[in-house]
Structure 1
Amino acid sequence: MTAPSIEVFPVGNGDMTLITTKNKKKILIDCYRRSGSSYNYLEERLRERLNTDEDGRPYVDVFVLTHPDADHITGFNTMFHTGDPEDWSDKSNKIIINEIWSSPRVFRRATAKGANGNNPLCDDAKVFNREAKRRVQLYRDGGYIGGAGNRIILLSSDEDGKTDDIPHIVADLFTSFARMSGIDDGSLNAFLLAPADKQEVAEDEEELSKNNSSAIIRFDLSNAIYDANYGYDVSYTHSFLIGGDAEVKCWEVLHDKLEAAGQLNELAYDVLLAPHHCSWRSLSNDSESNCDDPKLNKSAHAALSKANKNAVVLCSSQEFGEKTPPSQLARDEYEKILKDNDGYKFYAVAEEGVDDEGNPNSLMITFSTGRPKKVTKAEKRDFSKVANPDAVKKGGKSTYA
């Protein structure tokens, strides 16, 4: 076993985050690999982290798509194999995705009218959507959850009852759903918090957008640290909260629903990936640039304030400066949240410098000490590499409904 870790790749105002569990399972959340050879290092760095199966195929155990905006899905078709895993080619050597986690709601809202024309799908999102539909159809046709390369979990039901016939691959809101996954080894739990119903996040069709359909998930990573005082391993669980580009209404609705149910503890985190690249609009209804005194939304702010002791907040964005996001005003607020809750520090991937080849460094967090700890530059050379990856069977695990 190894200590769980989180790696935020340097993709500017985009998201691409890799979780590695204690059992070396790999969960990739979103991807953003722009075209051109100058971005080859991103794909190479990702591949360095991955395991390979008995046929030498690189794979991620799970690919999570929070929502299909271009800055969360660009490069998907370049890097990942789609279609029957038996058709994989060593010539293209694309990465196999054992299991997809995605919500059908984000794609339904992406094709809706409104949101000031912000809804059309980019080409990579269309490729992803076809692959997700292929996997759902396999389940419908066969009545069972397929093997590696064919599995899918839908993050919440589709609207208008369109997934009522396939409940065994649908994760319900406000439930833990790791038991449905091919990662069912005790190293990871996942609790689904959003996307909310469209009636809750938009008053009319004009407000519907992919951002307001972002999946919000709390990942609980199990760990064990040897304690010399006791002479045995002490178990820990570390919570990582992610929300894609979820805007203020999403966090407001989420907080108020959990508060009414007495379940605000479900928002507690050791690590938070600041939503929407540290945008002020995840914390406030007021425009930062067009309002003299922008006010915090009380409920949204409370939702993002459940920092545990020693918690850290991470930011995936371009450098802080004149353009937003990222918002310095939002950063100041997250740093205050950490201070008020005995948390630790705010880290921005854009401030991690460059590696020996001059490429931007990733921001890396490990739990080797029983709490979130940033990996130093000296430690990054061998971070998350797997010298002797465990082979897995191509067929994976089949579970009958």
Structure 2
Amino acid sequence: MTTLPALDQAAIQRRTVLVLSLGQVLGGIAFGATVSLGALLAADLSGDDALSGLATASVTLGAALCAIPLARLASRVGRRRALTLGNLFALVGIAVVILAAALRIFPLLLVGILMIGAGNAGNLQSRFAATDLAAPKHRGRDLSVVVWATTIGGVSGPLLLGPGEIVGQAIGMPPQTGSYLFSLVAQTAAFILYLVALRPDPLLTAQRLAKDAAASLAAPLIVLDRPTVARYAIFAIAGSHVVMASVMAMTPIHLSHMAQGMHAGNASAADVSLLVGFTIALHVAGMYGLSPIFGILADRWGRLRVVLLGQGLLAAALAFAIFVNDQPWGVMVALILLGLGWSAATVAGAALLTEASAPELRTRRQGRSDSLMSLSAAAGAVLAGVVLSNFQYAGLGIAASVLVLVIVVLAPLGRTRVSRPTHDRGRLV
């Protein structure tokens, strides 16, 4: 058997990270638009603010339903086909959302947003794809670079609300859906990019290299599996995502009410869109903008320490949400810190999950992690709407703080020592 030279593997990894990063830029545009407009469209079509959380619930539920199937598909046929299928789901979902807004059918809107969420499952899988061929000492860095690339698209999406409405009105699109036109173009470009440029497939290449290495050794390569650490990593990722998603999902509604109060109940749609779009853009910048720093810190300080750093940032965000929620700047600071905390926890948590799992279990656990993360966030978003209606924005911050505390208390379960792979004729332990 022949193995790929180290230099060639490094070159393939650099190309893979570049392609995945470009794909995240394009996919982030649709994500940013859906985050900004989903709750507003849901409230408009349903006529009930309490149902606005169903938009975020739908996008996260779509990601949850498709995470495991896409991970299994990737393990069989590679990342490229799984990612292109995710983009296809998102394309169809965008078209359905536009149709639902035109016909003013609330259930159809949720179906479209759910399909966009299915596409987002592919975007989430991209960060794990960056680790398939990564050297262990650079795993956090490579993963975080792909996460960081989402900043460009994720920030652009909310900022395109205004221009999108102008373009949408010019071509006769339904109200509040103009920016989805940009999303449609971006998702199409991402689909073509993955289909054409993600070659050789990183996961299939990694699997081939592992088989070649095992065949060339007198005894099998043993990589210790740490299921307790992996389970904590999955919980920390999911919990941090629930905190972020539940507060973020209700922020557009809170800001809408705030804008009406600032304008004595006469705030225009443009006033609301500007305030919401700018705040969510800052939030998305916090989610992705510093992810390479958190990735480097995870490589140098250790994964668990950066997970706990994320919890500290989330706690600070919730403090602003509880005590300074009556000022636009206070909500903006809360959303920025919320994004930073999410970034630190999920980047380090994903690296911890990858290195705590034996190679043959990684893809399966990665799919389970994404599914649980999205499913729990969907439930959190629905409950967030109820909490907001009954206990206001501060009550939502208090409820989310409980989950942060649980993640910190359970942190000892995530402790692990770095060990080198060993060779033995025994079975994997």
- TM-score normalised according to structure 1 size: 0.27
Q: Max radius of gyration: which structure?
A: 2
| Higher share in strand | 1
| Higher share in helix | 2
Give the structure, 1 or 2, with the largest relative contact order (CA under 8 Å, sep 6 or more). 2
